[in-house]
Amino acid sequence: MPIDFDTVVSRKDTDSLKWDKYRNQDILPFWVADMDFKVAQPILDALQVKMDHGVFGYTLPPEALSAAVIAHLKAEYQWSIDPEWIVWLPGVVTGLAVSCRAFCTDGGDIVVNPPIYHHFFDSHEAERQNVVQVPLHKIDDRWTYDMQALEAAFSNNTRLLMMCSPHNPTGTVFTLSELAAVAQLCEKYDVIMVSDEIHCDLVIDPQAQHHPIASACADSAQRIVTLMSGSKTWNIAGLNCSFAIISDDALRHRFCSAANSIVPSVPPLAFEATLAAYRDGDEWRRELLQYLAGNYEYIRQEIRSLKGLVVEPIQATYLAWIDASGLGLDDTQGFFEKHGVGLSAGEQFGQAQYIRLNFACSRSTLEEGVARMRKAVESLG
Ligand SMILES: Cc1ncc(COP(=O)(O)O)c(C=O)c1O
């Protein structure tokens, strides 16, 4: 039986961050990056088994979990990793923050590439590290690294490049040659790369293929920390299970030392859900990708006729990156909220004239949201 993504699961009054932001207001939320879908049945079943056991003390990663992750990486990306390379974490943002503390403690520079997920701007310690922003640029309607600008920004004070691959919010899936160029530059300037690949299993463009940079640029793997999680793909972000993959022993040691005493262990329910996701969740994921691709196509078609809004092409994620500069508004997010649509403000990602729309919801919710956006834009005359 096909998975039912059409039925609306109400999240109202469930303390959902996404929905309760607009509690008691007629505003449909399309902002923070979680999905409105119920999780895959194998995940629910695994959680139920743990619930029935009823004891939730400190818990080791289940042995089968590393095996499931390793099998997934091999099958999807032909990337072979050792179980010892995996460091379990309660969040990917935690991994970003630990990387800053581990690899840049001396007033060095951390390079980030806006527009970018907002925690790239704030996961460092402001008094100990500098964030240097090198914007991506657009080539043929696709956001990518500006290699000239990147090299101009690198110096012997550069310690860390924080990458987001696939990229949130622009939806770019980087090619092998793009990744190779970045890795070469990091070699030249002795810069460590932390690659946030949380969206890697959400490629919706059939022409695109995600490449983990540590696999694609294996010669540079000794300077790469890869961060991954099943949280976005299988909608279990509230459970808190992520992981870093660090093949180099010394680099991993530095990372773990910085995490020690600060980073809590992963909760038992989170381990179980993540194991079920990687081991038994691929059929659900494949159907999800089709549903998301359909939703993305729907908003592209619909929003095309709204003057002042341009839905940019994305290759991955369930986040549409929309150029709203044509509306000429100072507060685009506030404007749409007044018309019953809750979007993310582009400003949050470092690009004020954009808005971001999370389309991981049932089609009917999306249709209502788009109808409200249409009314809003038409009200401008
Ligand atoms: C690129 C990126 N990294 C990290 C996160 C959050 O990760 P976590 O909840 O595991 O800290 C998000 C959530 O939207 C994201 O888009």
Q: Establish if 5 belongs to a structural domain.
A: no
Which amino acid, 63? E
Distance 33 CA to ligand 1 centre (A): 8
Cβ proximity of 226 and 245 under 8 Å = yes
Task: Summarize the confidence of residues 61-70 as an average pLDDT.
Answer: 97
The reply to whether 55 and 163 lie within a common domain is yes
The reply to whether 180 and 301 lie within a common domain is no
**33 Cβ below 6 A of ligand 1:** yes
| CATH code of the domain containing 132 | 3.40.640.10
Task: Summarize the confidence of residues 52-66 as an average pLDDT.
Answer: 96
- Tell me the per-residue pLDDT of 251-280, one tens digit each, with 9 for 90 and over: 999 999 999 999 999 999 999 999 999 999
Distance 92 CA to ligand 1 centre (A): 6
The reply to whether 193 and 291 lie within a common domain is no
Give the atom of ligand 1 at the shortest distance from the alpha carbon of 229.
10
What per-residue confidence (pLDDT) applies to 105?
83
Three-class secondary structure assignment of the chain = CCCCCCCCCCCCCCCCHHHHCCCCCCCEECCCCCCCCCCCHHHHHHHHHHHHHCCCCCCCCCHHHHHHHHHHHHHHHCCCCCHHHEEEECCHHHHHHHHHHHHCCCCCEEEECCCCCCHHHHCCCCCCCEEEECCCEEECCEEECCHHHHHHHCCCCEEEEEEECCCCCCCCCCCHHHHHHHHHHHHHCCCEEEEECCCCCCECCCCCCCCCHHHHCHHHHHHEEEEEECCCCCCCHHHCCEEEECCCHHHHHHHHHHHCCCCCCCCHHHHHHHHHHHHHCHHHHHHHHHHHHHHHHHHHHHHHCCCCCEECCCCECCEEEEECHHHCCCCHHHHHHHCCEECEEHHHHCCCCEEEEECCCCHHHHHHHHHHHHHHHHHCC
The reply to whether 207 and 356 lie within a common domain is no
Domain final residue, candidates 237, 264, 280: 280
- Tell me the per-residue pLDDT of 335-355, one tens digit each, with 9 for 90 and over: 999 999 999 999 999 999 999
Residue bearing the CA closest to ligand 1, atom 14: 33
pTM over 0.85: yes
- pLDDT over 70 percentage in the chain: 100
- Tell me the per-residue pLDDT of 292-338, one tens digit each, with 9 for 90 and over: 999 999 999 999 999 999 999 999 999 999 999 999 999 999 999 99
The number of distinct structural domains making up the chain is: 2
What per-residue confidence (pLDDT) applies to 381?
82
What per-residue confidence (pLDDT) applies to 106?
85
The reply to whether 218 and 124 lie within a common domain is yes
Domain final residue, candidates 250, 280, 310: 280
Average pLDDT, the chain: 97
Give the atom of ligand 1 at the shortest distance from the alpha carbon of 240.
10
What per-residue confidence (pLDDT) applies to 347?
97
Q: Establish if 371 belongs to a structural domain.
A: yes
- Tell me the per-residue pLDDT of 162-174, one tens digit each, with 9 for 90 and over: 999 999 999 999 9
The reply to whether 168 and 33 lie within a common domain is no
**358 Cβ below 6 A of ligand 1:** no
Q: Establish if 184 belongs to a structural domain.
A: yes
Q: Which of 120, 232, 266, 358 to mutate to test the pocket of ligand 1 (most atoms within 8 A of CB)?
A: 232
The reply to whether 215 and 79 lie within a common domain is yes
The reply to whether 354 and 205 lie within a common domain is no
- Tell me the per-residue pLDDT of 9-49, one tens digit each, with 9 for 90 and over: 999 999 999 999 999 999 999 999 999 999 999 999 999 99
Q: Which of 198, 202, 226 to mutate to test the pocket of ligand 1 (most atoms within 8 A of CB)?
A: 198
Give the atom of ligand 1 at the shortest distance from the alpha carbon of 231.
10
Q: Establish if 10 belongs to a structural domain.
A: no
Range of the domain at 26: 17-38+282-379
Domain final residue, candidates 264, 280, 296: 280
pLDDT of 1 > 90? The answer is: no
The reply to whether 133 and 232 lie within a common domain is yes
The reply to whether 88 and 114 lie within a common domain is yes
Q: Establish if 288 belongs to a structural domain.
A: yes
Q: Establish if 9 belongs to a structural domain.
A: no
Q: Establish if 247 belongs to a structural domain.
A: yes
**226 Cβ below 6 A of ligand 1:** no
Establish how many alpha carbons lie within 13 A of residue 19's alpha carbon, considering only the half-sphere containing its beta carbon. Answer: 12
Q: Establish if 1 belongs to a structural domain.
A: no
What per-residue confidence (pLDDT) applies to 53?
97
Distance 285 CA to ligand 1 centre (A): 18
Distance 7 CA to ligand 1 centre (A): 26
Task: Summarize the confidence of residues 63-76 as an average pLDDT.
Answer: 98
- Tell me the per-residue pLDDT of 82-101, one tens digit each, with 9 for 90 and over: 999 999 999 999 999 999 99
The reply to whether 90 and 193 lie within a common domain is yes
**348 Cβ below 6 A of ligand 1:** no
The reply to whether 357 and 232 lie within a common domain is no
**93 Cβ below 6 A of ligand 1:** yes
| CATH code of the domain containing 374 | 3.90.1150.10
- Tell me the per-residue pLDDT of 119-175, one tens digit each, with 9 for 90 and over: 999 999 988 899 999 999 999 999 999 999 999 999 999 999 999 999 999 999 999
